A and B are shown apart, each in its own frame.
Chain A
Amino acid sequence: MNNVFTPDNNGVVKHWDIFCTVVDNYGDIGVTWRLAKQLVNEYDIPINLWVDDLLSFSHILPKLDASKKQQSFNSVNIFHWNNPLEIQFNAGNAIIEAFACELPSQVKAIIERLHLQPHTQAPTWLNLEYLSAEAWVDGCHGLPSTQPNGVKKWFYFPGFSPKTGGLICERELFNQRDQWQADPRHKLALFQQLGLQGINAQDTVISVFSYETRALTALCELWQTSQTPIHALIPKGRSLHSLIDLLPCTIDDLIPGQQFTLGNLTLHILPMTDQNGFDRLLWSCDFNIVRGEDSFLRAQWAAKPFIWHIYPQEDDYHLVKLQAFMQIYCDNLAPEIATTWSEVNLAFNQENLSAVVMHWQQLNSVSLPLMQHAIKWPINALNDADLASRLVQFVNNS
């Protein structure tokens, strides 16, 4: 089977290929799918997205048929990447191996052949790495990685500083968000569309998309005693494993739209949604608990306060990454606000139950300046250019 874009000798079609392995959850595929759509929509670059696990992908792209080897959505060609490749690979202008995945041997052989062949241009080969706010990223972004056969691969690091590869953010995203948030009827309509009942405009609504943690259990127990109604919106998944004791049935028996009232807390079971729907959900909540990389960034773009449940790493290295992000996020924040927000994030990630409850209660006293900071932050974080535009420039210059 041939892939769709076949470049001729004069470069009539200069497509890019993005390779993604789904290790777990929706982070890797979430980021690459957003990037693929943006490159097509805003830069008119034909994109082939190669994904090894279409079933996981279909959770965030419900129209995807996991049994098909080749299909197209949003003008992105989606290929099932199995080993060895059953679809003929034709190199274009750029090949992106996302998150340190290993390219198929056929693809590497084609890159090598083009590298050695006179008068041909080998594609720019990039390793798109994980997002981190750590300082070392500045020094590693954009460096070559010469392979034993002489082919150069380039390390591309997303990041928050001007020296990095930037952050994924679609051109019109902030305008769309502002229009959405300007009218409270939008969020109420969304909740209704998602089958969530009994949420009033003035209620506190919190989205929960964390990994398993007893810190979430502790917060839910606290929210039950709230003076005002709190709604926690939780999809079927890892967060709910921490709340089994609060549920009247097993997780398997839960149905999207189902809700449970516990004191002044209502737990709502969220249906899975596509990425645009997830963005609107984050825009509509008062506070977002997010995880990993993709939802973490979207929570920032939502301009709402959030807790980041970072992917756990050996030796608690994830806490180093968390501290690095908290430091830059709080750079222009008054010390008492920065401390409160940082402490609640740290306590949540350390499963320090008493601390997370105490610091959550302190958030109330800083909610207004924290909200103002959340609105300003996305502009600062972008540093004038998003990831896709810097990536296009990088490929053009390499």
Chain B
Amino acid sequence: MKTAHEIRPGNVIMLDGSPWVVQKTETTRSGRNAAIVKLKLKNVLLDSGTEQTFKGEDKLDDIILERLDCTYSYFADPMYVFMDEEYNQYDVEADNLGDAADYIIDGMEDVCQVTFYESKAISVELPVHIVREVIYTEPSARGDTSGKVMKPATITGGGTVTVADFVKVGDKIEIDTRTGEFKKRV
């Protein structure tokens, strides 16, 4: 069991007797700091989707399926192709990657975990922390010092991350793939 707060894209959870791949997680704060976690889910067996909301401390039944360390090879629309140490290739539907797709880039060396259900590759879990380059962000808004000043930045691969104001184009930043949060400049 994991708390809803610990669930991340790529996990597979059991709901109502069916396995569901977690495609996207959104954590927000309700009153008195209580966390609300919204999950976008895809049913592994039926290919149908749903969205559900949980309290951060709710326990969810995550199922341990066979996993293999793999690296990303190439994209063959609509499949992402991953390869293990023995050069076996596994196709994962783009839809099943959910938000993780934002961090997939050609030539990436991050070791990912491909999850299998009944011998079929169904999802990919990225490392908790990855490093990506900022390819576009607005210049620093100097003088605006009230609170933590943040701004959007586009990273290699096309995803958007909210970064600290001091981050510039060309900087490499560390991102927490569980939350999509900027952690630090590398």
Chain A nearest CB from B5 CB (Å) reads 13
Given the known inter-chain contacts A145-B52, A145-B58, A150-B16, please indicate yes or no for A130 contacting B31, CB distance below 8 A: yes
- A190–B113 alpha-carbon span in the complex (Å): 68
CB pair B33 A143 closer than 8 Å: no
In the complex, the chain B residue whose C-beta lies closest to that of A314 is: B33
| 17 A-B residue pairings within 8 Å (CB atoms) | A100-B30, A130-B30, A130-B31, A130-B32, A132-B31, A139-B26, A140-B36, A143-B38, A144-B50, A145-B52, A145-B55, A146-B52, A147-B58, A148-B59, A313-B31, A316-B147, A319-B147
A155 interface contact, C-beta 8 A = yes
* Chain A window 293-308, contacts with chain B (Cβ cutoff 8 Å), 1 for yes, 0 for no: 1000000000000000
A-B contact sample (20 more), CB < 8 A, given A145-B53, A313-B33: A23-B32, A99-B31, A100-B30, A129-B31, A132-B30, A134-B28, A136-B38, A140-B36, A140-B38, A144-B50, A145-B58, A146-B15, A148-B1, A148-B14, A148-B59, A148-B61, A150-B17, A313-B32, A316-B147, A319-B147
B163 to chain A, nearest CB (A): 17
- Given contact pairs A129-B30, A144-B52, A150-B17, A139 touches B38 in the complex (Cβ within 8 A): yes
Q: How far is the CA of A313 from the CA of B33 in the complex (A)?
A: 6
What is the CA–CA distance of A314 and B35 in the complex, to the nearest angstrom?
A: 12
Query: Which chain B residues border A311 with CB–CB below 8 Å?
Result: 31-32
Known contacts: A129-B30, A132-B30, A316-B147. The answer to whether A146 contacts B38 by CB under 8 A is no
**Secondary structure class of chain B's binding surface, majority of residues:** strand
Q: Shortest Cβ distance from A248 into chain B, in angstroms?
A: 36
B31 near A293 with CB under 8 A, answer yes
Q: Which of A143, A145, A319 has the most CB of B within 10 A?
A: A145
Instruction: Tell me how many residue pairs across A and B have CB atoms closer than 8 Å.
Output: 65
A23-B147 Cα distance, complex, nearest whole Å: 28
**Is B169's beta carbon under 8 Å from chain A?**
no
- Cross-interface CB contact of A313 among B29, B55, B59, B147, cutoff 8 Å: B29
User: Is A210 located at the chain interface by the 8 A CB criterion?
Assistant: no
Residues in A with CB closer than 8 Å to B53 are: 140, 143-145, 155
Chain B minimum-CB-distance residue to A352: B146
Residue of B nearest to A147 (CB): B58
B28: A residues at CB distance < 8 A: 134, 136, 140
Bound complex: CA A23 to CA B15 (Å): 31
User: Among B30, B58, B147, which residue has the most Cβ atoms of chain A within 10 A?
Assistant: B30
User: Which A residues, 95 to 151, have Cβ-Cβ distances below 8 Å to chain B?
Assistant: 99-100, 127, 129-130, 132, 134, 136, 139-140, 143-148, 150
Task: Tell me which residues across on chain B come within 8 A of A73, comparing CB atoms.
Answer: none
Q: Which of A134, A139, A148 has the most CB of B within 10 A?
A: A148
Residue of B nearest to A140 (CB): B53
A146 touches B30 (CB 8 A): no
A100 in complex: contacting residue of B14, B15, B55, B61, CB < 8 Å: B55
Verify if B106 is at the interface (C-beta below 8 Å from A): no
Q: Which residues of A contact B32 (CB under 8 A)?
A: 23, 99, 130, 311, 313
Contact A317 B30 (CB under 8 A): no
4 tightest CB-CB pairs across the interface, nearest first? A130-B31, A143-B53, A155-B53, A146-B15
Candidate in A100, A136, A293, A317 with the most chain B CB atoms within 10 angstroms: A100
Within 8 A of A (CB), among B17-48: 17, 26, 28-34, 36, 38
Residues of A near B15 (CB, < 8 A) are 146, 150
Binary per-residue interface labels of chain A (278-298) against chain B in the complex, 1 for a CB within 8 Å, 0 otherwise: 000000000000000100000
A317 x B17 contact (CB < 8 A): no
In the complex the two chains form, what is the Cα distance from A314 to B148 in whole Å?
13
Verify if B171 is at the interface (C-beta below 8 Å from A): no
How far, in angstroms, from A111 to B28 measured CA to CA in the complex?
28
- Is B60 among interface residues, defined by CB-CB distance under 8 A? yes
Which residues of chain B are near A314, meaning CB under 8 Å? 33
Contact B33 A317 (CB under 8 A): yes
A394 to chain B, nearest CB (A): 14
Cβ-defined contact, B29 with A145, below 8 A: no
Q: Is the CB of A100 within 8 A of B34?
A: yes
Write out the residue numbers on chain A whose beta carbons fall within 8 Å of the beta carbon of B31: 99, 129-130, 132, 293, 311, 313
Whether A129 contacts B60 in the complex (CB less than 8 A), given A143-B52, A311-B31, comes out as: no
A145 with B33, Cβ < 8 A, contacts A134-B28, A316-B147 known: no
Tell me the nearest residue of chain A to B4, going by C-beta: A145
What chain A residues lie within 8 Å of B29 (beta carbons)?
313, 317
A23 to B30, CA, bound (A): 15
- Expressed in whole angstroms, the Cα–Cα distance for A134 and B54 within the complex equals 18
Question: CB-CB < 8 A to A145: which residues of B?
Answer: 52-55, 58
